Structure formats: structure tokens, C-alpha cells
Amino acid sequence: MQTAIDDSGDLLQLAAGAFDGERDPWANAANAAALIFQLLPDLNWAGFYFMRGGELVVGPFQGRVACVRIAVGSGVCGTAAERRATVIVPDVHRFPGHITCDAASSSEVVVPLVSGDRLIGVLDLDSARLDRFTAADARLLESLAEKIVAACDWRLAGIDGF
């Protein structure tokens, strides 16, 4: 069985391979969500919300049907977007304003996607396990977020400000 560290190394390497020569945001986000869901253990949702028309709108993901629109400042996603900083939530039931998409979710991590002074969206992972996400996971996902921000031409996706 692979260790979590090996899986995380694979994640960045495989993402770089998937993004290579491809600038389309939907294509790269779809493959990134699939890789995350496939390689990181104990997830029940992994995907993106993008800034479109002044709010976060769901993008490519793996998992159960999700809420489509989230206001900046609302829930874990909107909080990470507003702060432009990663938010780790060990127990979503203790996070004021948490938005429930899948009742099985117990913990969550949200990483913003930022290019210069522009907020592109967020990368959101949920787990049915309490306290699933570590600082090391957050750093890994921040590296992945940097890679996807650099890999895509965001003008192709109708993202606010592009």
C-alpha cells in the first residue's frame, strides 16, 4: 500500500502531466478533481467553485451533487474566498455558517485560487472523517492550486476579471 506522502508526490507529478500542453480551465479542473479524488484517501467530495457573476459557482468535481452558488463570505468556501487564505475545518458541525451539500461530510479544507490580485475561485475537499486534513495536506493542495492557476487561460472560462 502506498503511503500518504507517496500519494501526494504522485498528485503533483500527475497533475503536471495532465496539464501539460493544455490551457483549458474546465479540462484541467476536471482532471485535477479526478486525480485528487483518486489519490487522496477518505474523501467524499473534491472539486472547484469559480468566481462567475460575483459569486462562487460550482465547477468540475467528484462526489455527490453539490450546491451550485455560494456567496463570497458564506460557508467554508466563501470564507476562504473572502480571506484569500486556506481554511481547514476539523469538524464542519462546529463551523458557523457551514453549508451542507453531503450530510456525510465531517471535515473540510478549502484553498483559494488567486492570480495576482484576482480571485479565480476555490478548491474544496470534504471528508466523512473528522479532522481529516492536516497542514501538510493544505500545503500540497496550495501547490496544486498554484499549478492549475499557472496552467490555465482563465479568459476561456468566463471567470470574473479575466
Residues that bind ligand SME (CB under 6 A): 45, 66-67, 70, 75-78, 98-99, 101, 105, 108, 124, 126
Residue 144 beta carbon to ligand SME: minimum distance, rounded to whole angstroms: 17
Residue 97 beta carbon to ligand SME: minimum distance, rounded to whole angstroms: 7
Asked if residues 89 and 57 have their Cβ atoms less than 8 Å apart, the reply is: no
Residue nearest to ligand SME (CB): 75
| Closer Cβ to ligand SME, 109 or 140, answer by number | 109
Q: 114 vs 90, 95, 97, 101, 127, CA distance in Å?
A: 24, 24, 23, 24, 24
Residue 61 beta carbon to ligand SME: minimum distance, rounded to whole angstroms: 7
| Closer Cβ to ligand SME, 69 or 155, answer by number | 69
Residue 11 beta carbon to ligand SME: minimum distance, rounded to whole angstroms: 19
| Closer Cβ to ligand SME, 60 or 75, answer by number | 75
Classify the phi-psi angles of 138: left when phi > 0, otherwise alpha if psi is within -120 to 50, otherwise beta.
Answer: alpha
d(CA 12, CA 74): 29
H/E segment holding residue 26:
helix 25-39
| Closer Cβ to ligand SME, 17 or 51, answer by number | 51
Residue 110 beta carbon to ligand SME: minimum distance, rounded to whole angstroms: 7
Asked if residues 76 and 82 have their Cβ atoms less than 8 Å apart, the reply is: no
| Closer Cβ to ligand SME, 99 or 138, answer by number | 99
Number of other CB atoms surrounding residue 46 within 10 Å: 25
Non-local (6+) Cβ contacts of 47 within 8 A are: 29, 33, 58, 59, 60, 61, 62, 63, 66, 123, 124
